Amino acid sequence: MSQDEDDKRLTLKSRKTESLMFVIGLFLFQVFMIVLFAIWVRYDTNARYGGGFDQVQDEIDHTYGYFRDVNIMIFFGFGFLMVFLRRYGYSALGYTFIISAMVAQWSVLLMGFVEFILHNESFRHELFYFNVETLLNGLFCAGAVMITYGALLGKVTPLQMLIVGILEPMFYFLNMYIMEKIKAFDVGGGMTIHTFGCYFGLTVCWFITNKKAKTSPENAASYVGDLFAMAGSLFLWMMWPSFNAAIAPRGDPQLRAIANTFLSLTGSTIATFIVSRLCGHFGHKLDMVHVQNSTLAGGVVQGVLAHLNIGPASAISMGFIVGTISVLGYVYLTPFLAKRFNLQDTCGINNLHGMPGFIGSIAAVIAAAHAINDRSLYSDVEFNILFPAGDEQAKRNAAMTFIVVGVGIVGGLITGAILKLVRKIGGLRKEEYFSDHAFWHVASDYPSGFGSGDDSETGPSSHSVELESKEH
Contacts with a second copy in 368-407 (CB under 8 A)?
379
One of 82, 90, 386, 396 touching a second copy (CB under 8 A): 90
CA 408 to chain centroid? 13
Single out the segment in contact with a second copy by CB under 8 A; choices: 189-197, 272-280, 356-364, 365-373.
272-280
What is the length of the chain? 472
User: Is residue 227 within the footprint of a second copy (CB under 8 A)?
Assistant: yes
| Least distance (Å) between residue 384 CB and a second copy | 16
One of 4, 6, 7, 61 touching a second copy (CB under 8 A): 61
Q: Rounded to an integer, what distance in angstroms lies between the CA atom of residue 97 and that of residue 104?
A: 11
- The answer to whether 322 and 359 have CB atoms below 8 angstroms apart is yes
User: Is residue 410 within the footprint of a second copy (CB under 8 A)?
Assistant: no
Single out the segment in contact with a second copy by CB under 8 A; choices: 145-153, 189-197, 233-241, 363-371.
233-241
Q: Rounded to an integer, what distance in angstroms lies between the CA atom of residue 219 and that of residue 214?
A: 8
Is 74 buried (19+), middle (13-18) or exposed (0-12) by CB count in 10 A?
buried
Q: Rounded to an integer, what distance in angstroms lies between the CA atom of residue 111 and that of residue 132?
A: 13
One of 210, 266, 456, 462 touching a second copy (CB under 8 A): 266
- Residue 444 gets which letter from DSSP? T
Q: Rounded to an integer, what distance in angstroms lies between the CA atom of residue 196 and that of residue 244?
A: 16
Single out the segment in contact with a second copy by CB under 8 A; choices: 50-58, 117-125, 340-348, 413-421.
50-58
For a second copy, the binding residues in 283-342 under the rule CB under 8 A are: 283-288, 291, 295, 309, 311-314, 316-317, 320
One of 163, 176, 239, 347 touching a second copy (CB under 8 A): 239
Distances (CA, A) of 263 to 77, 143, 312, 320, 332: 20, 22, 7, 10, 27
Those residues with Cβ within 8 angstroms of residue 344's Cβ, 6 or more apart along the chain or in another chain = 155, 205, 209, 213, 214, 219, 337, 338
Distances (CA, A) of 293 to 6, 155, 234, 347: 42, 20, 10, 9
Single out the segment in contact with a second copy by CB under 8 A; choices: 113-121, 126-134, 328-336, 366-374.
126-134
182 vs 450, which CB is nearer to a second copy? 450
User: Is residue 50 within the footprint of a second copy (CB under 8 A)?
Assistant: no
Single out the segment in contact with a second copy by CB under 8 A; choices: 190-198, 274-282, 328-336, 406-414.
274-282
One of 82, 105, 300, 407 touching a second copy (CB under 8 A): 105
User: Is residue 468 within the footprint of a second copy (CB under 8 A)?
Assistant: yes
221 pairs with which residues across the strands?
85
Task: Count how many Cα atoms sit within 13 Å of the Cα of residue 325 in the half-sphere of its side chain.
Answer: 22
User: Is residue 196 within the footprint of a second copy (CB under 8 A)?
Assistant: no
Judged by CB under 8 A, the number of residues near a second copy is: 132
158 vs 408, which CB is nearer to a second copy? 158
User: Is residue 446 within the footprint of a second copy (CB under 8 A)?
Assistant: yes
Q: Rounded to an integer, what distance in angstroms lies between the CA atom of residue 415 and that of residue 199?
A: 12
Angle between helices 460-471 and 2-40 (to 10 degrees): 80
216 vs 222, which CB is nearer to a second copy? 222
One of 50, 119, 282, 380 touching a second copy (CB under 8 A): 282
User: Is residue 442 within the footprint of a second copy (CB under 8 A)?
Assistant: yes
46 vs 342, which CB is nearer to a second copy? 46
User: Is residue 56 within the footprint of a second copy (CB under 8 A)?
Assistant: yes
One of 16, 339, 420, 424 touching a second copy (CB under 8 A): 16
For a second copy, the binding residues in 17-46 under the rule CB under 8 A are: 18-19, 22-23, 26-27, 29-30, 33-35, 37-38, 41-46
| Least distance (Å) between residue 339 CB and a second copy | 18
One of 146, 202, 230, 407 touching a second copy (CB under 8 A): 230
- The answer to whether 233 and 295 have CB atoms below 8 angstroms apart is yes
Is 308 buried (19+), middle (13-18) or exposed (0-12) by CB count in 10 A?
buried
- The answer to whether 318 and 267 have CB atoms below 8 angstroms apart is yes
Strands of 68-127 (E only): list them: none
| Least distance (Å) between residue 163 CB and a second copy | 15
41 pairs with which residues across the strands?
128
Q: Rounded to an integer, what distance in angstroms lies between the CA atom of residue 105 and that of residue 30?
A: 9
